[in-house]
C-alpha cells in the first residue's frame, strides 16, 4: 500500500512543470485573457505544492491538479461575471445569428501549409492532436460570451442552473447560447477539418 508521504512526493515542481502547457491552454481558452490565465496557472501550481500532502492517489496527479485549476477558473469567471451585463449575451447572440458567416470569413479555410495532411476517418480525428488545434482555433473564433457559456458547460462541466446563476442569464437564454455555440463549432469544423473538398485560401 502506498503511503501518504510517498504519494505527496509525486506532486513535485517537475511534475507540475510537465503539465504547465496544458494547464495554460485550458485556462486561456476559458478566460480569453492570457495574463489572467497565467496567474491562474501559477496560483494552481503553488496550491498544488502547498497541498501535496492532501493528494490521496485516488486519481492521477494531472486530474487532481486540473481539479484545482478548474475551481480557480470558475472563481475567476464568477468575479468577472459581476461586471458583464446579461444583455451582452443576448446582443452577442443576435449578432452571431445575423453575421455568422463573416465570423469565419477572414480565415475560412486553412492555407495549404497549415492544412492537416491526413483527413482520415472523422472518428479517428478525435485522437489526433491536429484536430484539437483546429478545434481550439474554431472555439477562439466564437464571440467571447458565447464561448464562455459553452466552455462552462462542456469543459468545466457546470450544469445549466450553475451557469445561469453565475452569469445572471435565463435558462432559455443559456440554451439558445449553447445551441449557437455548437452550431458555430460544427460549421467551422466542417469547413476546416472534416470537409475534404473545401478549398484552401
Q: Where are the domains of the chain?
A: 4-81, 86-194
Q: What is the mean pLDDT of residues 193-197?
A: 65
Q: In this structure, which topology does domain 4-81 adopt according to CATH?
A: Rna Polymerase Sigma Factor; Chain: A (1.10.1740)
Lowest mean pLDDT among 1-10, 107-116, 188-197: 107-116
What is the rounded distance in angstroms from the CA atom of residue 157 to the CA atom of residue 163? 10
For domain 86-194, the CATH architecture is Orthogonal Bundle (1.10)
Q: Tell me what pLDDT residue 57 has.
A: 83
Could you tell me how far CA 201 lies from the centroid of its own chain? 27
114: cell is 497549415
Per residue in 157-183, pLDDT (tens digit) is 889 998 898 888 899 999 999 999 999
Amino acid at each position: 500500500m502506498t503511503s501518504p508521504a510517498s504519494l505527496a512526493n509525486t506532486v513535485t515542481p517537475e511534475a507540475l512543470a510537465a503539465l504547465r502547457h496544458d494547464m495554460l491552454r485550458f485556462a486561456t481558452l476559458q478566460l480569453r485573457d492570457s495574463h489572467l490565465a497565467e496567474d491562474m496557472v501559477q496560483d494552481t501550481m503553488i496550491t498544488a505544492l502547498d497541498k501535496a500532502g492532501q493528494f490521496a492517489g485516488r486519481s492521477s496527479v494531472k486530474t487532481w491538479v486540473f481539479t484545482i485549476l478548474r475551481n480557480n477558473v470558475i472563481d475567476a469567471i464568477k468575479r468577472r461575471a459581476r461586471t458583464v451585463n446579461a444583455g451582452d449575451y443576448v446582443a452577442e447572440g443576435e449578432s452571431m445569428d445575423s453575421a455568422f458567416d463573416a465570423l469565419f470569413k477572414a480565415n475560412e479555410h486553412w492555407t495549404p501549409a497549415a492544412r492537416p495532411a491526413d483527413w482520415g476517418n472523422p472518428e479517428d480525428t478525435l485522437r489526433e492532436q491536429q484536430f484539437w488545434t483546429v478545434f481550439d482555433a474554431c472555439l477562439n473564433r466564437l464571440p467571447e460570451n458565447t464561448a464562455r457559456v459553452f466552455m462552462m458547460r462542456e469543459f468545466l462541466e457546470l450544469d445549466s442552473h450553475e451557469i445561469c446563476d453565475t452569469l445572471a442569464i435565463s435558462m432559455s437564454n443559456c440554451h439558445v447560447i449553447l445551441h449557437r455555440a455548437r452550431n458555430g463549432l460544427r460549421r467551422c469544423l466542417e469547413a476546416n477539418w472534416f470537409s475534404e473538398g473545401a478549398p484552401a485560401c
